[in-house]
């Protein structure tokens, strides 16, 4: 088995301590949470940090809370905890759907929500889910904390706005009543990265879509979102023709890349098909929520 | 750096490089070779052990991350000579052939049954979906776990220790 | 000559395995579990490029690493005559590259360090200067006039001569079987012919334990001891003697517990020889265990057959003839492991399970800049490829004729009275009742109900498929007169010794990698001698303690080594008779073997069992003239023929045409492997092979891009099926004993891997029939299914673009 290069190691006992260590060691330091994105890269020597700052002891960062009209998820929350959270599922079926198909049950036990988001893989399911829900990322740094929209969090493949001396601490999702959400993914095998995946949330007033959120991953959607398709949906009926047209628009605005998972035209097709399907799911759940 | 890890109830303190993977700590530092490794990319699950009561892929955990924590390996499944029902199930239902994936499978099965004493076949399959077996096609692994679920309260069963394998050691 | 057990099943049956006791406790001993005092660790530097000249290798920085003990390069090995080694196919393979690298992942240098982490670090300190060369990646272009030459080392005078036809430069062999003229005549006159190009993509056996070795050379005693992942320890020992020049009686190979083999652990690999050389150089034991990426990128792959197949039939559905033309991609070195006279293995059993008038196949092997191999992964020496071809063609013929695929097969299957049957390419199938097996499979599946359901679903726009595969396997290689590997005849030995207290030790030459030999071979001996399996200890894997044999692969353990065990047991039983006669003061003719003992004819309560006889044989009992004391025997079994297991498989799939996703709903498998020693173990083998079929049909393939980068070098890219993709199999059995095997057993380890891929592919193509899909190549990933529906299938051996 391949093994990492030499690295130094520090254990952070609090957020402040982690930030101090980041400041001390500079850009050669990496935050180590579950390690299930970072350590595989280190083993293949695609990444060779100088120092690892282990934050697994900062149990304060592990929570799923309701705070008014917000669901707050601490970034050290393990995928398995988010999957098992009845609270999260009650308000955001999309999160439960997505976690169900992220990696595998054993990886989910230790990999963290924050770790996956910060790894920023262009095929990351949670990136699409949080984009669909228009989440907010809370980032702590030496000068305090700042908030960044989930749709501005990623700056490119494997790149986020989190600076070398900053730490992503929380994701906030606004809870709005009357919505329904869902997530659907196509992959070559259980546990594999998506070939394409879509998450959506819709809010209905009768048969009219008052608002929608659509997230896409692995298909080169800008900021993991389908903003144009969302715009199209607002104010329209929730009929199947509308949903299919939204899928087409979402697909038009993707820039998928051909790789061994599939050629670009197939991925674009998947973007359309999955957007349509997940919108149908979200609509039916929204209708269920209202009835 | 110094790490102290409790493995199967015994504390071990060792001086290790921070980059040492937990699987290598267990196998090479502690000589607990019952846990195996089979890939480079955290896919195969041959390395599954418990870390603080939760199955993890120990090839993707650094030894320092286990500092101060508890690890359970296959060597800690049985209680002395008394096999865990999961181990009995795998032997009774031909849930293993080469035995390489077996420790990880059994530890996941034990964890599943602790949380879900009466799982469906689909739940068993999903629980082991992150672990590869090349020999059994999974059917008998599933049957082994379901057997264990049905025989949990059957009490201790002392399998005769045939001492097989001693000959192969140099 | 075979002897049926008298009195019930004896020791046969689904008893739990003896070997499980150590494995469920995590007490198996695999190669990486072994630690010797002073042991060092090796790591291999591998080429990042597919085809390049090596201008220089500078290991000085690596040697300066404080924890590095030695570095071997191709030049170092060349000094010792070890830079090249023979392959199992009469070619040579580089141990460490000297002049060129010829595939991505090829071995360049071997670092020996105090621990595995330092060894890995030191790899980065070796500087190699490459001069890039254009690679041959597309096998279909390997014989082009302007194709780069992969094996310039084979061209005489170290010069690539312009007058050597380009076709010859990457060309390995041409081989054919059958009667071309007869086949052509049948095709010319046939009312219906169907042809198809199909690829069986490169895949890899990927046993969960990778390959490895601990090499311990003692310069004082001259002894070389190797703990190694070897499916064929004795053959390896002979090879090491040939390659290193060390005397064979000073070489001991111990193959301990193996974490799966599937053919991956048959060849000798460069890493093994490097470890041996390193142990000789450092004077210490050296361990080398490969990474998964090394395993996938450099050890023996499987398949990679580009096939053109044709089937000829009458208008009313009688299959007349088959033709096939195959391009075989062997990679950079011809290292396939099959009997020497069969460069395309047993592919010519592509005649399948039908009564044909004629058949002809031709296979051309070529070099490419890829890893060497081809015969591996439970292929039964290319029978996977052959069965896939004939069963796909049969389904396509059924579609063309508008005949149900089950019906078409039933009409054409060989009938029991036709056995032993000699097929048009010369195989003599030993026994079989094919229609019975197919009928049983159809019954278990509820075939008619499935077709009804399919029709209903189609009316609703849902796509469900039913795929059948009927296969004939040929296993148990093989008769030494025409089957050898590197000149070693494929006969296997067995040594049986019964101790004074009636416990037996059976030493065999085959090497289990999970097939349960410690149990099944104990059952064989117990059955013959009236003992219990617990009374019989099976010893295997240690060349110092076991007789010579060619090892375990090609499902040969039961047919060959099992037969040897039976013969040895019967020799023991026959000697026991003479001793018993002496004990009872009777003549041997007065005794008969009944219910596990030698009993006096007409007075069965007067008897002697093996245990008492063993004690007597070791005692001071006066034995007759010519009868030696003790109770042991050896046998070497030279099989008179292969054995021919067979089966009928049915796969039900549901396909989502909008996404291309395939779900395998049901897998029905009826297998006939003759007499079954342990049905539980047989079924376990079938379960595994069905999973293999799902994996290969839907997700497993190793592709290369134009530069020769291997795109399947990790388990993230080379996908293996999980418990989610494999439904609970529904098994059935028929038993048609082999007439020539001493207990009528046939072998089964690879049957399901051989028979299943066609069933899955036939099922998916059947599902997509309303959409006009006639054929689609494996792997049927969602993308590939969708593209097939669009009428734009892609080649699985090349990178997606």
pLDDT tens per residue, range C227-267: 999 999 999 999 999 999 999 999 999 999 999 999 999 99
8-state DSSP, A237: B
Per DSSP, the residues of C293-331 read: HHHHHHS-EEEEEEEEEEEEE-TTS-EEEEEEEEEEE--
Nearest C-alpha of chain B: how many angstroms from A230? 34
* Neighbouring C-beta atoms of residue C84, cutoff 10 Å: 22
Query: Which residue of chain C is at minimal alpha-carbon distance from A270?
Result: C659
DSSP state of C656: E
Answer yes or no: is pLDDT of B157 > 90: no
> Predicted confidence band at C9 (pLDDT cuts at 50, 70, 90)?
low
Give the pLDDT band of residue C169 (cuts 50, 70, 90): confident
Global pTM value:
0.96
Please check the confidence at residue C219 and state whether its pLDDT lies above 50.
yes
The ranges of chain A annotated as CATH 3.30.465.10 are 59-174
Statement: residue C214 has pLDDT above 50: yes
CB contact under 8 A, A266 and C786: yes
Rounded CA separation A76/A144 (Å): 19
Residues of A in contact with C124 (CB under 8 A): 45
Contact partners of A by the rule of 3+ C-beta pairs under 8 A? B, C
Cα–Cα distance between A248 and A244 in angstroms, integer? 6
pLDDT, one tens digit per residue, over C625-662 is 888 889 999 999 989 999 999 999 999 999 999 999 99
Lowest mean pLDDT among A125-129, A192-196, B47-51, B166-170: B166-170
Distance CA C13, CA B140 (A): 17
pLDDT in tens, C471-494: 999 998 888 888 888 888 888 899
Q: Structurally, what CATH architecture does the domain formed by A59-174 represent?
A: 2-Layer Sandwich (3.30)
Distance of CA C365 to the CA centre of its chain: 19
Predicted confidence band of residue B158 (pLDDT cuts 50, 70, 90): very low
CB contact under 8 A, B96 and C722: no
Backbone angles phi, psi at C277, to 5 degrees: -60, -40
List, for residues C696-738, the tens digit of each pLDDT value: 999 999 999 999 999 999 999 999 999 999 999 999 999 999 9
Average pLDDT over residues C561-565: 92
Q: Which of C779, C768, C754 is nearest to C695 (CA)?
A: C779
Q: What is the DSSP letter of B26?
A: I
Is the domain A179-290 a CATH 3.30.565.10 member? no
| C 712-731 residues with CB < 8 A to A | 716-717, 719, 721-722, 724-725
What's the confidence (pLDDT) of residue A289? 75
At A168, phi and psi to the nearest 5?
A: -75, 120
Residue C292 with chain A: CB contacts under 8 Å: 1
Check CB contact of A2 with chain B, cutoff 8 Å: yes
Q: Which residues of C touch A192 (CB under 8 A)?
A: 716, 719
User: CA A254, CA A224: separation in Å to the nearest integer?
Assistant: 9
Tell me the average pLDDT of chain C.
94
Which residues of B fall below an 8 Å CB-CB distance to A?
A: 1, 17-19, 21, 23-24, 37-43, 45, 48, 51, 54-57, 59-62, 64-65, 67, 108, 126-127, 129-131
Q: pLDDT: is C135 or A288 the higher one?
A: C135
**C443/C466 Cα distance (integer angstroms):** 14
Q: With a cut of 90, say whether residue C692 has pLDDT above it.
A: yes
User: Is the pLDDT score of C788 beyond 80?
Assistant: yes
- The two tokens of residue A176 are 């709005």
Contact A109 B56 (CB under 8 A): yes
- Cα separation of C564 and C556, whole Å? 11
Distance CA C595, CA B92 (A): 28
C7 pLDDT more than 60: no
- Which C-chain residues 667-696 have CB contacts (< 8 A) with chain B? 680-681, 683-684, 686-692
Q: Ramachandran region of residue C194, left (φ > 0), alpha (ψ -120 to 50) or beta? A: beta
| Beta-carbon contacts of residue C777 (< 8 Å; ≥ 6 apart) | C198, C199, C201, C784, C793, C795, C796
- DSSP state string for C598-627: EEETTEEEEEE-HHHHHHHHHTTPPPPTT-
Q: Give the chain C residue whose CA is nearest to the CA of A188.
A: C781
Give the closest-approach CA distance of B150 to chain C in angstroms. Answer: 19
* Mutation for testing the A interface, residue in C292, C704, C783 having most A CBs under 10 Å: C783
Task: Pick B85-153's CATH classification: 3.40.50.2300, 1.10.150.120, 3.40.50.300, 1.10.287.70.
Answer: 1.10.150.120
| C121 with A6: Cβ contact below 8 A | yes
pLDDT at B163: 37
- Using CA atoms, how far apart are residues C416 and C433, in angstroms rounded to an integer? 5
User: Is the peptide bond prior to C420 cis by the omega test (within 30 degrees of 0)?
Assistant: yes
- CA-angle at B38, arms to B36 and B41, nearest 5°: 125
A191/C121 Cβ within 8 A: no
Q: Cβ of A261 under 8 Å from any chain C Cβ? A: yes
How high is the pLDDT of residue C161? Answer: 56
Cα(C133)–Cα(C141) distance, integer angstroms: 16
Tens digits of residue pLDDT in C435-454: 999 999 999 999 999 999 99
Structure confidence at residue B170 (pLDDT):
34
Residue C166 above 60 pLDDT?
no
Q: Does C719 sit within 8 Å of A192, measured CB to CB?
A: yes
The verdict on a CB contact (< 8 Å) between B54 and A110 is: yes
Check whether domain A8-54 has CATH 3.60.15.10, yes or no: no
Proportion of chain C above pLDDT 90, given as a percent: 88
List the domain boundaries for chain B.
2-76, 85-153
Q: How far apart are CA C87 and CA C70, in angstroms?
A: 27
Q: Where in chain A is the domain with CATH 3.30.43.10?
A: 8-54
Cis peptide bond upstream of B74, omega within 30: no
The answer to whether the CB atoms of A107 and B57 lie below 8 A apart is yes
Measured CA to CA, the distance from residue A33 to residue B65 in angstroms comes to: 9
Residue intervals in chain A for CATH 3.30.390.50: 179-290
Q: What is the mean pLDDT of residues C88-95?
A: 93
Measure A28 CA to nearest chain B CA, in Å.
15
Q: Chain B contacts of A32, Cβ < 8 Å?
A: 62, 65
Q: Do the bridges between strand C504-508 and strand C492-498 make them parallel or antiparallel, or are there none, so unpaired?
A: antiparallel
What kind of architecture, by CATH, is found in domain B2-76?
Answer: Roll (3.10)
Whether the predicted pLDDT of B89 surpasses 80: yes
Q: Residues 6 or more apart from A208 whose CB is under 8 A from it?
A: A235, A236, A237, A238
Check CB contact of C801 with chain A, cutoff 8 Å.
yes
Contacts of C711 in chain A (CB under 8 A): 260
C739: number of Cβ within 10 Å: 16
**3-state SS of C535-600?**
HEEEECCECCCCCCCCCCCCCCHHHHHHHHHHHHHHHHHHHHHHHHHHHHCCCHHHEEEECCEEEE
Domains in chain C, ordered, with CATH?
2-27+491-637 (3.30.365.10), 34-133+210-258+265-298 (3.90.1170.50), 301-477+641-789 (3.30.365.10)
**Nearest-by-CA chain B residue for A8:** B18
Contact A106/B37, CB-based, under 8 Å?
no
The percentage of residues in chain B with a pLDDT greater than 70, rounded to a whole number, is: 89
Determine contact: C80 vs chain B, CB below 8 A: no
Provide the pLDDT confidence category of residue C800 given band limits of 50, 70 and 90.
confident
Instruction: Name residues of chain A where pLDDT drops below 70.
Output: 290-291
Distance of alpha carbon C672 from alpha carbon C648, whole angstroms: 9
């Amino acid at each position: 088995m391949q093994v990492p290069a030499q690295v130094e190691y520090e254990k952070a006992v609090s957020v402040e301590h982690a930030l101090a260590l980041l400041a001390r060691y500079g850009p050669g330091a990496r935050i180590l949470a579950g390690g299930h994105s970072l350590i595989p890269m280190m083993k293949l020597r695609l990444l060779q940090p100088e120092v690892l700052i282990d934050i697994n002891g900062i149990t304060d960062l592990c929570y799923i809370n309701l705070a008014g009209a917000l669901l707050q998820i601490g970034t050290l929350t393990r995928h398995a905890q988010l999957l098992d959270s009845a609270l999260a599922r009650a308000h955001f079926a999309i999160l439960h759907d997505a976690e169900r198909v992220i990696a595998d049950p054993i990886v989910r036990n230790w990999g963290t929500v924050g770790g996956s988001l910060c790894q920023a893989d262009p095929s990351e399911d949670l990136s699409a889910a949080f984009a669909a829900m228009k989440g907010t990322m809370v980032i702590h740094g030496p000068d305090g904390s700042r908030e960044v929209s989930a749709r501005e969090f990623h700056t490119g493949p494997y790149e986020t706005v989190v600076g070398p001396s900053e730490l992503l601490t929380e994701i906030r999702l606004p809870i709005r009543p009357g919505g329904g959400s869902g997530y659907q993914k196509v992959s070559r095998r259980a546990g594999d990265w998506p070939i394409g995946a879509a998450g959506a949330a819709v809010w209905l007033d009768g048969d009219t879509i008052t608002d929608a959120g659509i997230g896409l991953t692995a298909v080169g959607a800008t900021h993991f979102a389908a903003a144009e398709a969302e715009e199209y949906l607002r104010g329209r009926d929730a009929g199947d023709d509308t949903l299919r047209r939204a899928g087409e628009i979402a697909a038009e605005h993707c820039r998928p890349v051909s790789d061994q998972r599939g050629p670009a035209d197939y991925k674009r097709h998947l973007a359309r098909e999955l957007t349509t399907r997940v919108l149908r799911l979200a609509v039916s759940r929204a209708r269920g929520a209202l009835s | 750096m110094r790490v102290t890890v409790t493995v199967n109830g015994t504390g071990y303190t060792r001086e290790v490089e921070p980059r040492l993977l937990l699987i290598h700590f267990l196998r090479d530092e502690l000589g607990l070779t019952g846990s195996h490794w089979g890939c480079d990319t955290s896919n195969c699950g041959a390395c599954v052990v418990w870390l603080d009561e939760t199955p993890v892929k120990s090839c993707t955990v650094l030894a320092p991350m286990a500092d101060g924590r508890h690890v359970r390996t296959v060597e800690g499944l049985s209680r002395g000579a008394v096999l865990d029902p999961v181990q009995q199930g795998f032997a009774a239902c031909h849930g293993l052939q080469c035995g390489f994936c077996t420790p990880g499978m059994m530890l996941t099965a034990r964890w599943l049954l602790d949380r879900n004493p009466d799982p469906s076949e689909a739940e068993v399959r999903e629980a082991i979906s992150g672990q590869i077996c090349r020999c059994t096609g999974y059917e008998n692994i599933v049957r082994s776990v379901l057997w264990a679920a049905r025989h949990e309260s059957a009490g201790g069963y002392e399998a005769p220790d045939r001492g097989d394998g001693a000959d192969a050691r140099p | 000559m075979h002897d049926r057990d008298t009195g019930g099943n004896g020791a046969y049956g689904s008893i739990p395995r003896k070997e499980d006791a150590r494995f469920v406790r995590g007490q198996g001993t695999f190669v990486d579990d072994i630690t010797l005092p002073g042991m060092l660790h090796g790591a291999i530097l591998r080429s990042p490029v597919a085809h390049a000249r090596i201008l220089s290798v500078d290991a000085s920085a690596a040697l300066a690493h404080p924890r590095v003990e030695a570095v071997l390069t191709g030049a170092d090995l060349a000094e010792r005559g070890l830079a090249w080694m023979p392959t199992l196919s009469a070619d040579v393979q580089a141990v460490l590259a000297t002049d060129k690298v010829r595939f991505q992942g090829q071995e360049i240098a071997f670092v020996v360090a105090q621990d595995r982490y330092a060894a890995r670090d030191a790899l980065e300190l070796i500087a190699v200067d490459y001069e890039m060369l254009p690679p041959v990646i597309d096998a279909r272009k390997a014989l082009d006039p302007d194709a780069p030459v992969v094996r310039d080392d084979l061209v005489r005078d170290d010069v690539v001569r312009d007058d050597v036809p380009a076709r010859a430069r990457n060309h390995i062999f041409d081989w054919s079987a059958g009667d071309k003229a007869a086949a052509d005549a049948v095709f010319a006159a046939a009312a219906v012919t169907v042809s198809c190009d199909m690829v069986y993509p490169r895949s890899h056996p990927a046993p969960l334990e990778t390959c490895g070795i601990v090499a311990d050379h003692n310069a004082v005693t001259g002894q070389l001891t190797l703990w190694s992942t070897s499916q064929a320890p004795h053959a390896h020992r002979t090879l090491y003697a040939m390659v290193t020049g060390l005397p064979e009686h000073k070489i001991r190979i111990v193959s301990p517990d193996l974490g799966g083999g599937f053919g991956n652990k048959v060849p000798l690999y460069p890493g093994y020889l490097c470890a041996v050389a390193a142990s000789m150089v450092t004077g210490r034991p050296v361990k080398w265990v490969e990474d998964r990426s090394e395993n996938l990128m450099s050890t023996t792959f499987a398949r990679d057959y580009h096939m053109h197949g044709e089937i000829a039939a009458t208008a009313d559905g009688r299959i007349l003839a088959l033709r096939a033309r195959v391009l075989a991609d062997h990679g950079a070195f011809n290292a396939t492991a099959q009997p020497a006279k069969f460069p395309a293995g047993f592919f010519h059993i592509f005649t399948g399970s039908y009564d044909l008038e004629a058949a002809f196949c031709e296979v051309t092997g070529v070099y490419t800049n890829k890893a060497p191999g081809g015969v591996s992964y439970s292929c039964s020496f290319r029978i996977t490829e052959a069965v896939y071809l004939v069963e796909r063609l049969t389904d396509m013929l059924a579609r063309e004729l508008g005949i149900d695929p089950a019906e078409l097969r039933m009409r054409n299957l060989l009938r029991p009275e036709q056995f032993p049957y000699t097929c048009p390419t010369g195989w003599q199938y030993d026994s079989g009742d094919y229609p019975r097996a197919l009928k049983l499979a159809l019954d278990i599946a509820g075939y008619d109900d499935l077709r009804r359901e399919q029709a209903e679903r189609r009316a609703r726009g849902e796509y469900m498929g039913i795929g059948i595969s009927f296969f004939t396997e040929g296993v148990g290689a093989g008769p030494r007169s025409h089957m050898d590997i590197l000149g070693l005849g494929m006969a296997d030995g067995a040594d049986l010794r019964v101790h004074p207290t009636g416990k037996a030790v059976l030493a065999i030459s085959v090497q289990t990698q999970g097939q349960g030999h410690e149990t099944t071979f104990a059952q064989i001996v117990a059955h013959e001698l009236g003992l219990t399996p617990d009374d019989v200890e099976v010893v295997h894997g240690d060349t110092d303690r076991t007789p010579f044999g060619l090892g375990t692969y090609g499902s040969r353990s039961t047919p060959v080594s099992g037969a040897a065990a039976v013969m040895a047991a019967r020799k023991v039983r026959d000697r026991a008779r003479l001793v018993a006669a002496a004990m009872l003061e009777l003549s041997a003719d007065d005794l008969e073997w009944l219910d596990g003992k030698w009993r006096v004819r007409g007075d069965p309560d007067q008897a002697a069992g093996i245990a008492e006889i063993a004690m007597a044989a070791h005692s001071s009992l006066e034995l007759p003239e010519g009868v030696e004391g003790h109770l042991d025997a050896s046998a070497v079994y030279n099989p008179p023929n292969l054995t021919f297991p067979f089966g009928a498989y049915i796969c039900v799939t549901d396909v989502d045409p909008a996404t291309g996703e395939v779900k395998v709903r049901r897998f029905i498998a009826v297998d006939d492997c003759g007499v079954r020693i342990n049905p539980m173990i047989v079924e376990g083998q079938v379960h595994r092979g069905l999973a293999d079929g799902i994996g290969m049909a839907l997700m497993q393939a190793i592709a290369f891009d134009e530069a020769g980068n291997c795109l399947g070098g990790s388990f993230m890219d080379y996908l293996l099926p999980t418990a989610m993709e494999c439904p609970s199999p529904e098994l059935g059995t028929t038993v048609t004993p082999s007439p020539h095997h001493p207990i009528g057993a046939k072998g089964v380890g690879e049957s399901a891997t051989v028979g299943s891929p066609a069933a899955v592919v036939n099922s998916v193509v059947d599902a997509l029939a309303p959409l006009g899909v006639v054929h689609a190549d494996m792997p049927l990933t969602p993308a590939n299914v969708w593209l097939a529906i669009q009428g734009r299938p892609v080649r699985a051996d090349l990178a997606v673009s």
